[in-house]
């Protein structure tokens, strides 16, 4: 059995380590699995000959908690964990979450707000000169000046506030080895200014060249329009082939300098990383506390790719993993799957084979690995690019091999499926096999909205594309005599959504015939296009004004409309319908969302299918949404026969 990395002096003694080369401080519990950044970076360093110890979830109120492993020879590595600590802590309402899946027993309050900053300063109080390199999703997405939703303020680069020396942004495997080798050679951390995928600070201009100057921090703080312009420049320089060095100037001639992104991993490099000797488990010290809940989601899942060229505005993948797809070989994935089948808890079901987007298994076009992605053009939005090669053949071949493994009963796909990319593939083999073999009764997809005006701001395809997908999905289920459903992810209050669009979304849900149990309200997280729209009221792509819901009461109305059947939402829904001049939706017929008054002891406006099921309706062409009002006489436009319902 593989060993865990040291978490105590006793572990160091057993491993005959007098002084660690690096100590990794993380806001998550220690899980030695390649789904956790701390495990990957630590194992990569170990493979290059460096010793690494782990301090997981230190008590940030006690300086001694950071000294339990002594001072590292080369430096501290710091990460808030697999999530931004503020997203981990708070709902979009800014109320504190009462569970934390990355903490033993799922208990909250085991990491601080803005954990990267707090941990960095915790280390600095004890070790004044030891190099600190910060990374992970929180540092990566806060590497330059950014809007912080939770404080409603414009913040400096996390590099300055954390007291760190360097940021390793993105996935970090390449940059961390270069940094380690430089430190091991005796180089001062202040001289490590050349590594791709890093951000450093400088006091003069001698350490950078061929740079692009962004608006200064003070200028952006005073003028939101300049921040929108800055973000567009940053977005256009996220590609490793074409990205330039970016410089952000702060008061007192402090320069925060972002080097171009690290080059994408080759398939061989990806395979090597996932073949490292992970224990694939949470540290046994957590067993008595109930284990780490997050491991349940990844224990029997396979990561097959990285990166995403989907280009959704509300997603930070462009800034973190990039738009170029990187994949593991079939042999690498099959070897991991075979190991998985030997686990005593394996029941024959592989829960997922995917990544950010499951059905992306190669770059969107052939030129990307030579020239990079296009700066001012997306692969799928607003229409699929003519140069895009939609091809699922490699993914189909991989899934077929996995299905044949001894001990495997079923291989599910639970990562996101891009339905527009699926439709763009003229060969329908994958679509057929997805229906026949890889759905556990329902397929979750993310149209996000049904109004084209909102979808445009989201960077998503027009609603007609989703309707085409639903029609094709229904046809194929009938063809293969399957009874499977689609569960659409929908979002309220995204920039561009007024009450008019929110009402149209509620009408769509009414026509589905079921009520979503969970509502996704737009969450402004750092370094996404949508968050910049939320903060500035400007779409950085064309600098056009965007309607934004800032008022908490209006956000509550938009959210309530998605769950209009909930009696607790009645007053909010009624107010929203009056404000939107949609009183036609207040009534007793099937067209209405709510009755004209509260109905004691009943869930108002419930229009269940005749059999009482809460499964949604999949009739083809049921909703041809252009966000225009339905007929005011209470009748809906229906086309086609009533088909199977989806839940």
Q: How confident is residue 41, by pLDDT bands cut at 50, 70 and 90?
A: very high
| pLDDT value at 261 more than 60 | yes
What CA–CA distance (Å, rounded) separates 30 from 57? 9
Q: Output the pLDDT for position 602.
A: 44
pLDDT (tens digit per residue) in 187-202: 999 999 999 999 999 9
Backbone angles phi, psi at 63, to 5 degrees: -60, -30
State the CB neighbour count (10 A cutoff) for residue 245.
16
Q: What is the Cα–Cα distance from 223 to 217, expressed in whole angstroms?
A: 10
Least confident of 282-291, 331-340, 363-372, 498-507: 363-372
Q: How many residues does the chain have?
A: 647
Res 642 pLDDT > 80: no
Q: Could you give the percent of the chain with pLDDT greater than 70?
A: 92
Categorize the per-residue pLDDT at 519 as very low, low, confident or very high, splitting at 50, 70 and 90: confident
Residue 50, CA distances (Å) to 31, 183, 329 in order = 19, 11, 27
Interval 233-258 mean pLDDT: 96
Residues 592 and 585 sit within 8 Å (Cβ to Cβ): yes
- Beta pairing, strands 198-202 & 166-168: antiparallel
If pLDDT is split at 50, 70 and 90, which confidence band does 598 have?
low
Q: Give the model confidence (pLDDT) of 225-234 as tens digits.
A: 999 999 999 9
Please say whether the beta carbons of 605 and 588 come within 8 A.
no
Helix (H) or strand (E) holding 420: helix 419-424
Residue 331 in 3-state DSSP? helix
Task: Read off the pLDDT of each residue in 83-100 and give the average, rounded to a whole number.
Answer: 96
Question: Is the separation of the CB atoms in 601 and 637 below 8 Å?
Answer: no
User: Over 80: is that where the pLDDT of 627 sits?
Assistant: no
The pLDDT of 498-514, averaged and rounded, is 92
CA dihedral 34, 35, 41, 47 (to 10 degrees): 0
Look up residue 511 and give its two tokens: 């026509």
To which residue do tokens 């991993």 refer?
265
User: 330: burial class by Cβ within 10 Å (0-12, 13-18, 19+)?
Assistant: middle
Read off the pLDDT of residues 8-23 as tens digits, 9 standing for 90 and up: 999 999 999 999 999 9
Mean pLDDT throughout 351-359?
95
371-380, 462-471, 625-634: least confident range: 625-634
pLDDT above 90 as % of the chain = 87
Q: What is the pLDDT of residue 630?
A: 39
Q: What is the b/e burial string over 255-275, where b = at least 16 CB atoms within 10 angstroms of the residue's CB?
A: bbbbbbbbebbeeeebbebbb
Confidence band for 597, pLDDT divided at 50, 70 and 90: confident
Using only C-alpha atoms, the chain has a radius of gyration, in whole angstroms, of 26
Contact 463, 418 (CB under 8 A): no
pTM here is 0.90
Euclidean distance between the first and final Cα of the chain, in Å? 43
| SS3 annotation, 495-561 | CCCCHHHHHHHHHHHHHHCCCCCCCEECCCCCCCHHHHHHHHCEECCCCEECCCCCCHHHHHHHHHH
Least confident of 135-149, 500-514, 536-550: 500-514
């Amino acid at each position: 059995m593989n060993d865990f990395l040291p978490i105590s002096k006793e572990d160091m003694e057993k491993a005959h380590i007098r002084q660690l080369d690096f100590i990794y401080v993380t806001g998550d519990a220690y899980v030695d699995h390649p789904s956790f950044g701390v495990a990957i970076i630590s194992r990569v360093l170990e493979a290059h000959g460096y010793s690494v110890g782990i301090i997981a979830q230190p008590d940030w109120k006690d300086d001694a908690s950071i000294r339990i492993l002594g001072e590292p020879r080369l430096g501290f590595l710091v990460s808030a964990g697999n999530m931004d600590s503020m997203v981990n802590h708070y709902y979009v309402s800014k109320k504190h979450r009462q569970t934390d899946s990355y903490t033993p027993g799922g208990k909250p309050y085991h990491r601080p707000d803005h954990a990267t900053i707090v941990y960095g300063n915790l280390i600095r109080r004890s070790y004044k000169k030891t190099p600190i390199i910060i990374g992970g999703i929180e540092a990566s997405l806060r590497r330059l000046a950014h809007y912080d939703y939770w404080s409603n303020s414009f913040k400096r680069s996390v590099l300055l506030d954390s007291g760190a020396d360097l940021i390793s942004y993105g996935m970090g495997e390449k940059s961390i080895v270069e940094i380690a080798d430089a430190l091991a050679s005796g180089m001062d951390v202040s001289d490590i200014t050349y590594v791709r995928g890093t951000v450093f600070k400088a006091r003069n201009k001698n350490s950078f060249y061929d740079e692009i100057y962004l608006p200064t921090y003070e200028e952006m703080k005073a003028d939101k329009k300049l921040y929108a312009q800055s973000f567009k420049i940053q977005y256009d320089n996220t590609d490793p082939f074409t990205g330039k060095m970016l410089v952000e100037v702060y008061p007192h001639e402090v320069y925060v300098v972002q080097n171009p992104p690290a080059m994408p991993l080759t398939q061989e490099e990806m395979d090597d990383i996932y073949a490292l000797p992970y224990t694939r488990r949470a540290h046994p010290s957590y067993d008595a506390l109930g284990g780490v809940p997050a491991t349940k989601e990844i224990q029997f899942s396979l990561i097959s790719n990285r990166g995403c060229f989907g280009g959704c505005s509300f997603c930070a993948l462009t800034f973190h993993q990039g738009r170029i797809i990187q994949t593991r070989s079939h042999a690498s994935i099959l070897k991991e799957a075979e190991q998985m089948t030997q686990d005593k808890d394996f029941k024959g079901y592989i829960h997922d084979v995917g990544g950010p987007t499951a059905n992306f298994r190669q770059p969107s076009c052939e030129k990307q690995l030579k020239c990079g992605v296009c700066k001012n053009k997306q692969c799928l939005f607003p229409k699929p690019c003519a140069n895009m090669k939609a091809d699922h053949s490699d993914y189909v071949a991989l899934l077929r091999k996995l299905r044949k493994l001894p001990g495997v009963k079923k291989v599910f796909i639970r990562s996101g499926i891009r339905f527009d990319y699926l439709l763009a593939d003229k060969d329908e083999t994958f679509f057929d096999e997805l229906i026949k073999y890889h759905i556990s009764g329902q397929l979750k997809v993310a149209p996000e909205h049904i109004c084209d005006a909102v979808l445009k701001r989201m960077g998503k395809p027009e609603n007609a594309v989703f309707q085409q997908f639903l029609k094709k999905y229904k046809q194929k289920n009938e063809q293969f005599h399957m009874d499977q459903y689609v569960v659409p992810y929908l979002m309220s209050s995204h920039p561009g959504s007024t009450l008019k669009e929110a009402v149209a979304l509620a009408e769509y849900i009414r026509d589905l015939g079921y009520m979503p149990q969970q509502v996704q309200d737009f969450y402004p997280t750092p370094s996404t296009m949508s968050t910049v729209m939320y903060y500035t009221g400007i779409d950085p792509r064309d600098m056009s004004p965007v309607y934004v819901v800032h008022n908490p009461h209006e956000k509550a109305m938009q959210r309530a409309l998605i769950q209009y059947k909930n009696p607790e939402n009645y007053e909010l829904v009624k107010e929203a319908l009056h404000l939107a001049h949609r009183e036609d939706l207040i009534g007793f017929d099937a067209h209405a969302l709510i009755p004209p008054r509260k109905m004691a002891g009943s869930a108002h406006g419930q229009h269940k299918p005749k059999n009482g099921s809460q499964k949604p309706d999949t009739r083809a062409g049921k909703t041809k949404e252009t966000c225009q009002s339905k007929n005011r006489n209470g009748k809906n436009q229906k086309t086609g026969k009533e088909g199977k319902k989806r839940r």
